Structure 1
Amino acid sequence: MTESTPAPATTSLNDRIAQRVRDLRASRGLSLDALAAHCGVSRSMISLIERGESSPTAVLLEKLATGLGVPLASLFDDAEPVASPVSRLADQLQWRDPHSGYVRRNVSPGGAISPIQIVEVNFPPKARVAYETGAREPRIHQQVWVLEGRIEVTVGDDLHRLDAGDCLALTLDQPMSYYNPTRKTARYAVVITTAPTSWR
């Protein structure tokens, strides 16, 4: 395998992302120009992503997810998920953000089994990712549970320093960023639900 040839898993995930973006855009009746206007990503870049000819960063994918009204994790779903209540570790593809180097893995079973999605992230030392997150309908709620290490999560103007065992609840409706201030890889789980929730 030459250096310019993507690894099979990377190729598979790029193809999966391409299919998901195409399907989600079509289901919402959006043209390339309309989606570009919604999410602030150029029409040419969206076209490259939909053809599987680009390795988009997490920040870029989050912009697309915001424009499509879905959580970022949804862009990694299989176009034809197997409706099984069990997601085997061996079947959970990993994706590496080409910018920050963080590695994410969709843990939850595919298909409409549950309104909840779980993602595991390995976040490298000193890595930082800033998302220009905007509101979606229905509202998307998320919890970040630190399993190992330490991370800093900024939501709007609020900075949250989280150590192992800490859990942060938030709504995806404003800019946010993740930062690992340490020299060790941090590991955390993100739990996402798109079901309308009333907080009391």
Structure 2
Amino acid sequence: MKKIVALLIAAGFSMSALAAETYNIDPSHTFSRFEYSHFGYSTQQSRFNNTTGKITLDRAAKTGSVDVVIDTKSVDTGNSVFNGHIQAEDFFDTAKFPTITYKSTKFNFDGDKLASVDGNLTIKGVTKPLTLTVTSFQCMPHPMLKKDACGANAVAKIKRTEFNAGKYAPYVGDDVSLSFAIESVKE
């Protein structure tokens, strides 16, 4: 009897492992954005043009993982001179820190819907916990690629001074709103 129970438990674990699916982030439809107050005059909005990574999702078990890499040299403020300024040591320091990473630690579901993702954000070698609030989430067959695909939008807030990027704070806002539009295609 113990052998049968052990076999059933092992089968359950292996079946749940089979239910997890891996998706590659589509860099042509994925953008990481940030915005902050510029001396109170306006809210400046910028983005990174190169975001890559993988998402593993088991909707039945309500688990998953996200591993995202953002190329800091792909920052796009809308102005090439300002792109160079924001890549300097006082802000992203892209020469020493060419990437920003986000690695999840837990997916949080509200029923069958992904509600948030807990994880760790690393900017300029500083890692802080960060929860992404998922504002939309959808998985379905991609009509053009004929493969399963998932997409999501998520938001969060950080303080840039906590990541050694606080030049001109508080005049240039310390609070930074992050938003992510992610599309991924099943391997």
| TM-based fold match above 0.5 | no
| TM-score, normalisation: structure 2 | 0.29
- Quick check: which has more Rg, 1 or 2? 2
Q: Which structure is richer in relative contact order (CA contacts within 8 A, separation 6 or more)? A: 2
Greater strand fraction, Structure 1 or Structure 2: 2
Greater helix fraction, Structure 1 or Structure 2: 1
